Copies of this chain bind each other. A is one copy, B any other.
Amino acid sequence: MNFVIERLRRTTDTIIGADDLRERLDSGRPLRIKYGVDCTAPDLHLGHAVNLWMMRQLQDLGHRVVFLLGDLTTRVGDPTGRSETRPVLTPSQIDANAASFLEQVSLVLRTDPEVFEVRRNSEWYDAMPVAELLGLFAQVTQAQLMSRDMFRERVAAGREIAVHELVYPVLQGYDSFAMESDLTIVGSDQLFNEQLGRHFQQRLGAPPQVVITTTITPGIDGRAKQSKSLNNYIGLTDSPRDKFGKLMSIPDELVEPYARVYTELPLETVAALADSAGSGGPAARDAKLRLAAAVVTRYHGAGVARAELAAFRQTFSERGRPDEMPSVVVRGDVATAFDLLRAARPDDSNSELRRLLRQGAVTINGVRTDDPAASVDLHADVVLKSGARTWHRITRQ
């Protein structure tokens, strides 16, 4: 059954307990996969979906995702990646958020009861005597909890850690025991908490869960990781058009990781797209179109993706393009950007053409091009715009 681990590897960062995973997959028993979330208002993005798609692969093999709402902890607030104490939520807010969560999750996961189960951690904590909770606390040290990156960063920044936040990882860890988790697939920021899960399972005599952490890619700005506050993310509930547009806006160097992590394109195709993106200009533009189409296909199907591709060209690539424009005929299958400019503007000096390029006044098939040597494929007609309002259609001889 190593093929499962092999398939997951594409988006796997680390596996804690790889031997256990192999053994459990070999056993043929359906595994219980912990998918723990807090109950604040969700806004799942492509980054979250990486984990969901891995779970979906396992569902397709008969394993069961246990969607665990951390409603107990939400009732008292909890620490977040933003290192802020979240507000306490009312039960009806929690219910509304949970419903929204399930709706978003169902864009990727199967939610039929065969392979999907919803639990709340209040199920066990509401029944747990305080003495038992203190008994759990006795099995962890203060230093262990404070070693968590997020806490250390907060201390370094002189910010406070409320005690309920400090103990939150203990609860998240015990959840794994209570729900009999075999495996959980999380972002690396959750590794600490989920390793506490292993700790409690072992202490309490249960087999420890396997923890897989996934590759995290930066947001569409190419810098910080995807987050709502930075508005640099692609949401699962974004329209196909928005997904397409945002993907067209990413820096060239994100084409490779996005294609690898956010699509199922064959890895050879990913490598080819990476090459194209590396050469910039229209080739990079084409690579992004391919990427955007693959992502939209994954969530909305091939038909929608094709329609978005056409719409994108129309709306963004050729904005302001006149219906009629002068034609220029050139020889060969490929040409450089400079060659095209030279052919279109025979009266301008070379230095004048270079200045246009340098100033970003040149677009080829809607893509701004500042490299005179950028290579352009001439198998189809090419639209060249130079300066504010000068358009030419380039046709191969």
- In the bound assembly, the distance between CA atoms of A151 and B163 in angstroms comes to 15
Interface size counted on chain A using CB atoms at 8 A: 36
Q: Contacts A125-B130, A130-B130; is A162 near B141 (CB within 8 Å)?
A: yes
- Which B residues touch A133, using CB under 8 A? 130, 133
**Closest residue of chain B to A73, judged by CB?**
B134
Q: Which of A96-104, A164-172, A236-244 is the interface stretch?
A: A164-172
Task: Report if A76 contacts B (CB, 8 A).
Answer: yes
- In the bound assembly, the distance between CA atoms of A146 and B162 in angstroms comes to 12
Contact residue among B77, B125, B129, B138 (Cβ-Cβ distance under 8 Å from A138): B77
CB <8 Å contact, A75 and B131 = yes
- Which B residues touch A138, using CB under 8 A? 76-77, 85, 162-165
Q: Determine how many copies of this chain the complex contains.
A: 2
CB <8 Å contact, B167 and A135 = no
CB <8 Å contact, B131 and A160 = no
CB <8 Å contact, A128 and B130 = yes
Task: Report if A316 contacts B (CB, 8 A).
Answer: no
Nearest-neighbour CB distance to chain B for A195, whole angstroms, equals 16
- Which B residues touch A161, using CB under 8 A? 141-143
Q: Contacts A130-B130, A131-B76, A142-B146; is A137 near B162 (CB within 8 Å)?
A: yes
CB <8 Å contact, B134 and A76 = yes
Task: Report if A108 contacts B (CB, 8 A).
Answer: no
- Which B residues touch A164, using CB under 8 A? 134-135, 137-138
Contacts A/B (CB < 8 Å), 26 sampled: A76-B135, A76-B138, A122-B131, A125-B130, A126-B129, A126-B131, A128-B130, A130-B130, A134-B164, A134-B167, A135-B164, A137-B162, A137-B164, A138-B162, A138-B164, A138-B165, A139-B162, A140-B163, A141-B160, A142-B146, A142-B162, A142-B165, A143-B155, A143-B161, A163-B166, A163-B170
List the interface of chain A (C-beta within 8 A of B). Answer: 72-73, 75-77, 85, 122, 125-126, 128-131, 133-135, 137-143, 145-146, 151, 155, 160-167, 170
A75-B131, A137-B167, A142-B166 known; 17 new pairs, CB 8 Å cut-off, are: A72-B131, A76-B135, A76-B137, A76-B138, A77-B138, A125-B129, A125-B131, A126-B129, A133-B133, A137-B163, A138-B163, A139-B162, A140-B163, A141-B160, A143-B155, A143-B161, A163-B170
